[in-house]
A = this chain, B = another copy of it.
Amino acid sequence: MRVALDAMGGDRAPGAAVEGALLALERDAELAIDLVGREEAILDILADRKHERLAVVHAPAVVTPGDSPVRAARENVPSSLHVALRRVRDGESDAVVSAGDTGAILAAAMVVLRRCRGVSRPGIAVPLPHPGGTTVLSDAGANLHPRPVHLMHYGLMAAELAKVHLETEEPRVGLLSVGTEAGKGTDLVRKVDGLLRRAPLNYVGLVEGQDLFGGTVDVVVSDGFTGNAVLKACEGFAGSLGRALGGSGASTSGAVDPASLDFSTYGGAPLLGVRGVVVIGHGRSGARAIASGVLAAVAGVRHELVQRVSEAVWSMSRLARAARFLPSREGGEGK
């Protein structure tokens, strides 16, 4: 099991990646990590903490946010992200973890790894822990103008993640709206509701924002704009509360750890619908979050997440074509 870790992605790179890699290696004896990035910078931080299951893969190029991510991916730019993705494509590594820019990871993964059959728009799935368990939110920002079938695919794909991640056989899937009564919500919501009712899912219908943390559903399907806003708002709320609690002394009493409220410690969000396990870490990821992301990628590989996701979407596409309830263009090859 080899994970390619983008050492240069994220606000705290490459330090967080190096420390995170060492943490993850401690936690899994069968894991090997390729730290991909500027060799000199990585070795500087690593110093004498060599590890027999840790390799450094030199990737000198720096891709700046102004560069076209698609062109960077197509032109074989030797940036840490692209080298890591190509390692997975070429079978040299089993998964990629990066805390770099989400848009860049998405674009590069679509070009280098390509999409699963039947998927036209990959989606980001974020597992949100809460006192009642964990709920997966998808899409969390990959697709801002989704068609109804895209959201149905997010339901199918995130349900596979929930099966793997939460070990529930029949994850309860809900569709995010502004009320739970049938018909509540936008035109998009009503169309997706119709599709999800016909999908081979344990679909419970419309849910509201509070259901993300209520333990009432295992998967919440959302358009990427709303999913992203919801996620960041909760993150901001947790952060402000963490600051308030930190100042109050409650944290030092041991009753509440503000760090546990910070989504940056939760680890990564799998990008579902591409032909390889890709885990996107929060830009602010520290070593703990990077290590969690690496272990999430390991779980994805061990449980054959990509095959499961791919099969779920493809069998739905065949089913839909057979029943003619989706135009064939939408159910077809995602190219």
Q: Which residues of A contact B (CB under 8 A)?
A: 65, 130-132, 141, 144-145, 176-178, 181, 185-187, 208-214, 222, 224-226, 228-241, 243-245, 248-250, 253, 255-256, 261
Contacts and interface: CB of A to CB of B under 8 A. Distances in A.
A228 B226 CA distance: 10
A245 B235 CA distance: 18
Residue among A176, A240, A243 with max Cβ neighbours from chain B (10 Å): A240
Contacts of A187: 145
A259 to B, nearest CB: 14
Contacts of A178: 141, 144, 224-225, 228-229
Contacts of A65: 181
B131 A243 contact: yes
Residue among A229, A248, A253 with max Cβ neighbours from chain B (10 Å): A229
Contact of A249 (B213, B225, B248, B255): B255
8 contacts: A141-B178, A144-B185, A208-B236, A209-B231, A210-B232, A212-B236, A250-B250, A250-B256
A214 B236 contact: yes
A144 B235 contact: no
Contacts of A209: 228-236
Contact of A230 (B141, B186, B233): B233
A211 B232 CA distance: 9
Contacts of A145: 186-187
A79 B238 CA distance: 41
Contact of A233 (B186, B210, B224): B210
Nearest to A212: B233
Contacts of A222: 229
